[in-house]
Each structure stands twice: as structure tokens, then as C-alpha cells.
Amino acid sequence: MDRKSFGKRIVGDSVDNFEGGDLVLMGPNLPHIWQNDETFFCEPDEANVKSTVIYFPPISC
């Protein structure tokens, strides 16, 4: 499974770079955004962004 992209990642008050192959685990109610590099907006046919998101619902007891 090929997942690719790069740019800035903002999670809570942390700002960092991200790239293909990164794995990020986050808790609930945490503000977050991934901002792709401008390359992905200038050449849309050649620079496709791909990602996988897995959501684990809360466990009710």
C-alpha cells in the first residue's frame, strides 16, 4: 500500500513536518490538521495525496 504526501502537521500545540510512511496515533478531542506542500496544489495530475485513517470508537462498559 503506497501512501505519499509531505508538508506540515499541526496536532494540538505541536507543529512538525510530515512525509510518506509516517504513523501518528492521537487521542480523542485533539485539534489537528495536515497541510500539504504547495507541490500538491500546483501539479494535481502528478502529485496525488494518499492516506489511510483508522478510527477506533470508544469502548462502552
Q: What angle do CA 15, 29, 13 make, to 5 degrees?
A: 20
Q: What angle do CA 27, 16, 54 make, to 5 degrees?
A: 35
| Overall number of domains in the chain | 1
Range of the domain at 22: 1-61
Name the band, by pLDDT with cuts 50, 70 and 90, for residue 2.
Answer: low
Task: Say how far apart CA 43 and CA 58 lie, in whole Å.
Answer: 39
Are 20 and 6 spatial neighbours (Cβ–Cβ below 8 Å)? Answer: yes
Residue-averaged pLDDT of the chain? 84
Give 30-43 pLDDT, tens digit per residue: 999 999 888 777 76
pTM value is 0.70
